[in-house]
A and B are shown apart, each in its own frame.
Chain A
Amino acid sequence: MIAETGHFALVLALIVALVQGTVPMVGAARRHPGLMAMARPAAVTQFALVAIAFAALTHAYVTSDFSVLNVARNSHSAKPMLYKIAGVWANHEGSMLLWVLILATFGSAVALFGRNLPPTLAARVLSVQAMIAVGFLAFTLLTSNPFERLFPVPVDGRGLNPLLQDPGLAFHPPFLYLGYVGFSMAYSFAIAALIEGRVDATWARWVRPWTLAAWSFLTFGIGLGSWWAYYELGWGGWWFWDPVENASFMPWLAGTALLHSSVVVEKRGTLKGWTVFLAIVTFGLSLLGTFLVRSGVLTSVHTFAADPARGVFILGLLVLVIGGSFALFAWRGPALRGVGLFRPISREGSLLINNLLMTTAAASVLLGTLYPLILDAFDAGKVSVGAPFFNAVFVPLMVPMLAVMAVGPFLGWKRGDLAGALGHLKAAVAIVVVVGLATWALSGGPVLAILGITAALWLAAGTLTEFAGRIALFRATPAVSLGRLIRLPRSAWGMTLAHLGLAVAVAGITASATWRTESIQTLGRGEAVDVAGYTFTFLGVREVEGPNYVATRGVFTVAKDGAMIATLHPETRRYPVEGQQTTEAAIRSTFLGDLYAVIGDPTVGGDAFVTRLYFNPLVPWIWAGVLIVVIGGLVSLSDRRLRVGAPQRRPSVAAPGSEPAPA
């Protein structure tokens, strides 16, 4: 009965979305307040209905109701509660339900918090949002109904893929979707602006927080997925340029560009058409990501759905949304003229370079991801485009990017002084040269790695110098600096943290990709091996029973210079229900890197085991860097100028210190 309630609620949500997608749009065109006013209650109702549907499916999972086909296929009564709940979205149908739930959440958030939006804009935004919802609700109901019943009811479910039974992966999809779907807000605002024919600072102030929120969630989601791959897949890699990873990375790259160009719209009233275009592209890439993952067009490890009917439906939706938006953009875009003039060397200019490099990167990843599919579709041969291609393309784009990132914040709006900016960076240059040479002398290369480390260092030094300049550190008395520090707008903190986080992550990425040490061997009890100056001693294995698995747990001690520093317990887990096996790496993070141990199969005699031991330098810096970036995004999001949204509403509330004070 509860499953049917969920199904019924989902059908009602589709009907509400149909009304919300049309009536307010007509109302806005005719300036009819009553029709426009329909948008808000409709958005909230739609959210409530999708939430009921989601709660119904969650209930079926929590109570292990195997009369629901979806639950029988993807759950098992012996599964821990966390994975019963995570199981809701660890399959195709449930993940689509999560998609529409998040979409409805964003829509109702605009309805509830967007009271200071101009009425026509609010009506049009909510209407566009509902049109997207119509597409995805119809997709869910017609091709991927999660509430389908099963008869006869099986005694137990088939279980969830053990690889997905992991806390990191349990929360990976929700964050990824919060990012993907969050970009629908920027998209809806962009389409509404094209229909309205105006883009101004108020519009940008509305788009920025939503983009920032979506971008922060997406950053966190990608980081979470990468972290999972690192500790779960058992060979210490964390990014594979897998098509499904690329699917989430492309919207991130475009979203990063959008984030920066919307700053220019807000502060300087230019790059308007471009920003609208980027908003469309970013959400288009999110949809493309959904298509690539959900259609089964790439049968990759992450792709759990493989049904051509679904693929054709999403492809149609994709063509409609992207094609329709670009047609609208071609028609209405030229009306969006900017007002601000600027020189190539200026803050705007540096943000434009960010946009150029980010969009080129996104386009290149798109090209590399789709190329094998395109060749295959035209029978032009089969090629593989793997990590070596993406690394070859990506590194030359990111190095100039990092170089400009350190300088950009020093340039003034409109007309910047490059010589002056570089003058501020003398100390940074000195640090980079000294540490760069020292790294070279100590490690002996390769050149690319030295370049990566110095680029990270340059960015960190530049960012900190800029921050110090803002608070007049060492130029004014400590009291003055402290005062400035306290009054610094949150968005300035956000930028500093995000850029600093990227520097930390780049250092981690470079070092771990270049200087990792690996040792693969068969070890018997009591045998030891040296890895990067650490002595790993194998003390044997024991059998351990988990809630729904049996594990072989190895014990290693790690010593450095004769002193014991860690005990590691890597496991091989066997899941009897699913008939599968997973490896659980044992990781001890230190400031300079991770000690990483994996235990494999026993030798024929059974007394020795295949062991894989690694020292992965600076890997913790990658996760720390991603976290700092996300914190930067959230801090910036808490800036009152963004929270207040449209600034003209309550200008008197703004504290004097929170006025924009770009250096």
Chain B
Amino acid sequence: MRGMLATFAVLCAALIAMTAAGVEPGEMLADPVLETRARDISKNLRCLVCQNQSIDDSNAALARDLRIIVRERLAAGDSDTEVIDYVVARYGDFVLLKPPLKPVTYALWFGPVAIALAAAAAAAAFLRRRRTRRPFRSIPTSAAGSKRC
């Protein structure tokens, strides 16, 4: 019962976090170019305490802190990559909504390509086999089937 309640409380907190959207006017940079870059970077950084939300979308305290860090780094003259590297160095790959290409994510990134190629190869094999083979009749394997034929 207590466990359930705790879970419920956590879920509620997540829901509250989800309702109000991220960036507050006070955090925004005066330079519109820098602010646009900050927004673009924020959209690809995960709010670590939320489920599947970027720091740009979340009003959790941690997301706010990260948004401010991103803007501070940009204001200090960092490039976009430097800002992202700075955040990744502190929070790990988990913070990136678009996982980096490395051995552990090869299956993720090449998977869809492999699936598409395998599916295309299977279809091609199916079509070739069909062309060389004489057409089959439907083979009934049960008594009911043969009766109906």
Q: B-contacting residues of A (Cβ < 8 Å)?
A: 31, 118, 120, 161, 163, 195-200, 232-235, 237, 240-243, 269, 296, 298-301, 303-304, 306-307, 332, 335, 337-342, 344, 349, 352, 356, 359-360, 363-364, 367-368, 371, 375, 380-389, 392-393, 397, 520-522, 578, 580-583, 598, 600-601, 610, 612
Contact = CB atoms under 8 A, between A and B. Distances in A.
A630 B51 CA distance: 30
Contacts of B139: 197, 335, 337
B148 interface: yes
B130 A342 contact: yes
B142 to A, nearest CB: 5
Given A118-B148, A339-B137, A360-B115, A382 B97 contact: no
A235 B144 contact: no
B105 A339 contact: no
Interface in B78-94: 92-94
A383 B99 contact: yes
B120 A356 contact: yes
Interface in B89-111: 92-99, 104-105, 107-108, 111
B140 A197 contact: yes
Nearest to A583: B19
A163 B13 CA distance: 12
B31 interface: no
Nearest to B100: A383
Interface string B114-149: 011001100100010011000111111111110010
The 4 closest A-B pairs by CB, nearest first: A386-B97, A197-B141, A235-B21, A388-B98
A118 B144 CA distance: 9
A455 B139 CA distance: 43
Contacts of B119: 356, 359-360
Interface residues of B, number: 60
A497 B15 CA distance: 37
B136 to A, nearest CB: 4
A383 B93 contact: yes
Interface string B35-58: 000000001101000011110010
Contact of A520 (B28, B53, B57): B28
B75 interface: no
Contacts of A610: 24-25
29 contacts: A31-B143, A163-B19, A196-B141, A197-B139, A233-B18, A235-B21, A237-B57, A241-B52, A299-B51, A339-B136, A352-B123, A356-B119, A360-B115, A363-B115, A364-B112, A367-B112, A371-B108, A375-B104, A382-B92, A384-B94, A384-B96, A386-B46, A386-B52, A389-B99, A522-B25, A580-B15, A581-B16, A600-B20, A610-B24
B25 A200 contact: no
Contacts of B98: 386, 388-389, 392
A338 to B, nearest CB: 7
Given A198-B141, A360-B116, 10 more contacts: A196-B141, A197-B141, A296-B7, A298-B51, A338-B136, A339-B135, A339-B137, A371-B99, A521-B25, A612-B21
B61 interface: no
